[in-house]
Amino acid sequence: MNAQGYKWVRWRAWLCHLMAVLSLGVLLIVFHWRPRLSLLARCRPCPLGLADFVLIRDSCGHYHVAEVLTEELEEGSLELLGDIEATEWRDTVQLYQDKKTLLRYYLFEGLRYIWLDRKAAFCLVSVLNEDWTCKDLHGFKNGLSHLEQNLRRQVYGPNVIDVPVKSYFQLLIEEVLNPFYFFQLFSMVLWTVDEYYYYSTSIFLISFFSIGISLYEIRKQRVILHNMARLVTNVTVIRKTGEQANVSSEELVPGDCICLPKDGQLMPCDAALLAGECLVNEGMLTGESVPVLKTPLLSSEKKYISDVDRKHTLFCGTQLIQAKGGGSGDVGAVAVVTGTGFFTAKGNLVSSILYPQPINFRFYRDAAKFLVILGFFAFIGTVYSFVILSHYNMSWFELVVRVLDIVTIVVPPALPTAITIGTIYAQHRLKKQGIFCISPPRINVCGKVSLFCFDKTGTLTEEGLDVWGVVEGGSAGFSDVVSDPSLLPPGPMISCMACCHTLVLLQGQPIGDPLELKMFKSTGWTLQESGEDGGALDAEFGGQRVLAVMRRPPRLLPFHATSTSEPVAIVQRFPFSSALQRMSVVTVACGGRSALAFMKGSPEMVASLCRQETVPPEFSKKLSSFSSEGLRVLALSYKPMDTSTDLSAAERGEVEKDMQFLGLLMMRNLVKPESAEVIRTLRLAKLRTVMVTGDNIRTAVSIAQRCGMVRADEGLIFVEATACTAQTTPTLRFTVEDREGTFVTAQGDFGYHLAISGSSFAALCNHFPEHLPKVLMRATVFARMAPDQKTQLVKEFQKLNYRVGMCGDGANDCGALRAADAGVSLSEAEASIASPFTSKTENISCVPLLIREGRCSLVTAFSLFRYMAVYSMIQFCSVLILYTVSTNLGDLQFFFTDVVLVTLLAIVMGKGGPSEKLSPCRPPANLFALPVLGSLFIHISVIILGQIVALFITKSQDWYIPLNSTIFGTANLPNMENTGIFSLSGFQYIFMAVVVTKGHPHKKLLYHNLIFLCLLFVQFAVMTCLVLYPGPFFRKIMQLYDFTDLNFKMLLVALAALNFLICFVVELLIDVGALKYLCCLCPKHPSKKKFKHLNSLLCDPSVPSWPPLNQTLYSSEYTAIGIN
């Protein structure tokens, strides 16, 4: 984001006021549309440090203006911040000679930017606390003083996510000043001046109701968002004096230490947990309704990052279910505020809704360019009209009105609204199917999706896992599989399964991660938490602070007969982290006699943290065997701990090293019955499918094979890349998965798939960027991918010009869902803000439905755009021809064609639903493609020719009476020329709606849209009656000439039928590719899409085969250039 400073110039401002008065307010409207021009006219450039206004250029190239505000800080308040922060905080102010301490800042999209002298720039206020370490956060445990809190509140602003709700009057003014409605208002004034009272009144009423509905919906959505975003509650804050104060959450600032009640509350800010444990429902942010356990942040020199330290961070807007272990009395936990207002996770999501990024979609860009082309035709029409009308004896005012009337005809005011009709219908159908959308323009984008990424667990496979079995392992090897873990003998293995989790009790029932819940229940142990008798439990376990106790039930089996049933207490938890791929706990036995640390996680990670002599020699082979069966495999380990130390303060790095390998836990994750059929449907539709998961690569491959992403006759190649270390250089290797021993890659037929892990993907991006695009072209399985890697993968696919869809459960996939062109979250929430689309369906069957609706909506938008363009050209030609012969269309004739015919047809044209089958071809999004421009050119040519023929046929009749050339316009009505042109053009409006309405293969055929079909028949019947038998009443009000020659009237109907037949046949020929033969005369241009070019390159037999199998490649960055 780029910012430039501007200083207010008084004489320029007064000059602008004068010009605004002289231009009757037109200058103010221009300034409203282009704030940058307003700033340039009233201000002069200056250094940012002296600016009164800031001109902001965002990443999309759009300009915004923000006013620089100042606020006087309390005298001497800076010294209260201490030596560490004084320098940084002094950068936020500017000291004037009068010794006043002023804070300079501006607000943009809800975020506060403050002036920093050291950086000579306005920076986000969050920069003041972005370098806080975990140790710094613990330093705030004693709280802030009143003066410190007041100063921070002045600098950071109030802790509120304020979504302004404007009054209906304010919204009306903004809506009317919109260029679209302003053009409509201009058109209505022009038509009224031109005495088209019926037509202008009807357009006014339509616009009035349209604006009314729009204002109601806008305000309704704003009120809903305002109520959802704004959260004000009372919070208990710890002061530096040691006392606790009850304050409004609006007064919270980063650094405040807050007490969290035991019975929970809605979090009004982002906070790092310092003491105690909290059970939190983060469904509002992630769409995942499973409660999450938050554990205290340990004091260290590590930089605190909320996304990395999610397991220790309470996010704004999430529901704190319960808090415990952090204090006495009603205090359940203690946390320090790290983010307020729009600088919270919730604020970030609300900001993304209020200020969405513009959608880079070709159809929308081309639509704007097409309006420029229509404007060019309008310019030609105005010049022609001026030349023709200047020969008549009319005033300059009347001449200008007539000429400007052409502009309102060529550029139809209803065009922007018309092309959104298909999207509105699609959104309504999706809602009925349980798919909710918070960004309607993305529905059209779904129609162009060419690649869809799927998460595995909970998306392709069932959410719940069943324990399949366990195997104990050690230096001697693995034991046999035990299918029921409760039958394991007492020892570290069963204790690890019973203790290594983050489950908590809620109303007497254990809740938490489904995997951990299944694992714990399979042991048969029971969970007890420290409550009111926490002191007794601490004493029972040697004085250690106990978080939870696992008790082994009595057994009746022989080998349990002599065993003790001693409970085990958890005194420290290190929650699971996707980046670390593991979790661990520290436990003690009764009396604190012994202590053990247990760890579980991905087998590769756990094995790397174990002493190598304890890992079975056949570890890799066994892991590969279980994973190939589609089992989710976890490794377990343990080690003794020193009981003389404070176990609750143990650091994670010390606990999770030199472990002893225990064994493997296998869990079966069944593929959802709908997954295979959906993947098959997408593959038949030439839509590429990719799996992106955090699971083991072998498990992921097995699931990919079972759901049809990788077929039995297709080969598999593993991509193995290593990063640079002190001893080794980066390497890249493509290893063949030889299932039958006879696998041969079919390069030309794409008969193979690549599978890559997260670590290899990172090494590939960093050290082998030249191979990355090719790997992305052929990779189908991405395993052990961290959440940020999923987001990066989506963006890398987009760099290859793919339109990327992403389907996940909304938890670890939030970043990828929001980065994708079409993100679908499988959630029970009606409108999860984790992604643009939310489906209540718990399987991926929503994906083909969404793509079909997207294609239908895009095709409808295309049809409506073409229809509105053709409609404007029909009327344009009619008016110019009638201008030439000294007449024009009447008031009710305009009303009849624009409202009764065109508007009604446009409204119901988009009502047809999507095709039941996904087609292998995608609909076009290019309005300037040869078939689109070619068809429009031919149709308009036939229409113009038809109207000219109708005029000449009329003039060639024996009974033809020439017009009075001394009178112009509607004063000449009724006349023969007008009635002939009006009769033919009325049929043209009707049959062109049939011609441009596309059906197969993306939309149901025309006869499925019964309302549209019935309307066509009714309009055709009415138009036929007006031509053949109008009757005295309709002939009078429509100002039609009374033709007595029935043969002539039948000839007009026949001409209209011939016109329809020609246009219909031309459209059919274009649909089957007739215009493509013209392309043979021109050199063929290669596709601009990178993935198509890469695919052609990889399939080219003349190019050396890729990938190089079973060869070790080295990074070009580390190529040896000489040897000494």
State the catalytic residues.
Answer: 455
Cβ proximity of 439 and 824 under 8 Å:
no
Cβ proximity of 869 and 993 under 8 Å:
no
78: Cβ contacts below 8 Å, ≥ 6 apart: 86, 89, 90, 93, 101, 151
Q: Distance between the two ends of the chain, CA-based, in angstroms?
A: 49
**Secondary structure class of 600 (helix, strand, coil):** strand
Indicate left, alpha or beta for 99 from its phi (over 0: left) and psi (-120 to 50: alpha).
Answer: left
693: Cβ contacts below 8 Å, ≥ 6 apart: 455, 456, 457, 700, 703, 782, 783, 784, 785
612: Cβ contacts below 8 Å, ≥ 6 apart: none
Q: Which helix (H) or strand (E) holds 437?
A: strand 435-437
Please name every residue paired with 265 in a beta bridge, in sequence order, or none if there are none: 320
1106: Cβ contacts below 8 Å, ≥ 6 apart: 747, 774, 1098
Token pair for residue 4? 């430039």
799: Cβ contacts below 8 Å, ≥ 6 apart: 1090
**Secondary structure class of 1026 (helix, strand, coil):** helix
Question: Of the candidates 4, 166, 163, 157, which has an alpha carbon nearest to the alpha carbon of residue 69?
Answer: 157
| Main-chain dihedrals φ then ψ at residue 917, nearest 5 degrees | -125, 140
Question: Using CA atoms, how far apart are residues 463 and 363, in angstroms rounded to an integer?
Answer: 38
3-state helix, strand, coil in the chain (%, to 5): 45, 20, 35
| Main-chain dihedrals φ then ψ at residue 775, nearest 5 degrees | -65, -45
Cβ proximity of 81 and 151 under 8 Å:
yes
Instruction: Judge if the upstream peptide bond of residue 974 is cis by omega within 30 degrees of 0.
Output: yes
Question: Using CA atoms, how far apart are residues 482 and 671, in angstroms rounded to an integer?
Answer: 23
Report the alpha-carbon angle 637-640-643, nearest 5: 145
Rounded (10°) CA dihedral 221, 222, 225, 229 = 180
Cβ proximity of 826 and 841 under 8 Å:
yes
Question: Using CA atoms, how far apart are residues 235 and 260, in angstroms rounded to an integer?
Answer: 8
Question: Of the candidates 989, 1057, 994, which has an alpha carbon nearest to the alpha carbon of residue 863?
Answer: 994
Within 10 angstroms of residue 322's Cβ, the number of other Cβ atoms is 21
Question: Using CA atoms, how far apart are residues 1070 and 1074, in angstroms rounded to an integer?
Answer: 5
Question: Of the candidates 769, 774, 704, which has an alpha carbon nearest to the alpha carbon of residue 737?
Answer: 704
Cβ proximity of 838 and 829 under 8 Å:
yes
Q: What is the largest CA-CA distance in the chain?
A: 122
Question: Using CA atoms, how far apart are residues 449 and 798, in angstroms rounded to an integer?
Answer: 11
Exposure string of 1057-1083, with b = 16+ CB inside 10 Å and e = fewer, is eebbebbeebbeebeeeebeeeeeeee
Which residue is it, tokens 């600016």? 51
DSSP state of 922: P
Cβ proximity of 471 and 622 under 8 Å:
yes
Residue type, 652: R
Q: What is the CA radius of gyration of the chain?
A: 36
Within 10 angstroms of residue 685's Cβ, the number of other Cβ atoms is 17
Which residue is it, tokens 């009395």? 329
